[in-house]
Amino acid sequence: MSLKKTLSIIKPDAIESKYHGKIIDFLENKGFKIVAQKKLKLSKVQAEAFYDIHKERPFFKDLVDFMISGEIVAQVLEAENAVLFYREVMGDTNPEKAENDTLRKLYGTNIQCNAVHGSDSDENATKEISFFFSNLELIN
């Protein structure tokens, strides 16, 4: 068994709707171990740096504005095949297309306000985790 890590962000819409506790319970009940977690509010510079991969996309400004609109919860999740497993648990980016019993179906309202973010590859998970957490903050 090879445990891997992935980054999860509970987005401002889910925090504002007070869904973050339910999301955390959901993740733990699915078998994820939360090895790091913090609540914070991103600055514009931080959000632009984190989403730099999307800077040429038409939605970049709206995404940054949304992600700085309120608090977020950044988490490092650990599980077997964590990236793929978390992407399944999140569901489709569009909550209307997401399968039942996925985070985005349960707690998202639209493509932008879809409750959670997750890394899309092991390589990006490593990069994204290091954006928010030092190795000292991770429980091994």
The helix (H) or strand (E) run that includes residue 124 is: helix 122-132
How many CB atoms are located within 10 Å of the residue 20 CB? 21
Pair 9, 116: CB distance under 8 Å: yes
| Beta strands in 1-140, from DSSP E residues, in sequence order | 3-10, 33-40, 72-80, 116-118
The helix (H) or strand (E) run that includes residue 61 is: helix 60-67
The pair of three-digit structure tokens given for residue 105, joined into one six-digit string? 């179906």
117 is catalytic: yes
Q: Which of 117, 128, 129, 132 is catalytic?
A: 117
Pair 90, 27: CB distance under 8 Å: no
Active site residues: 117
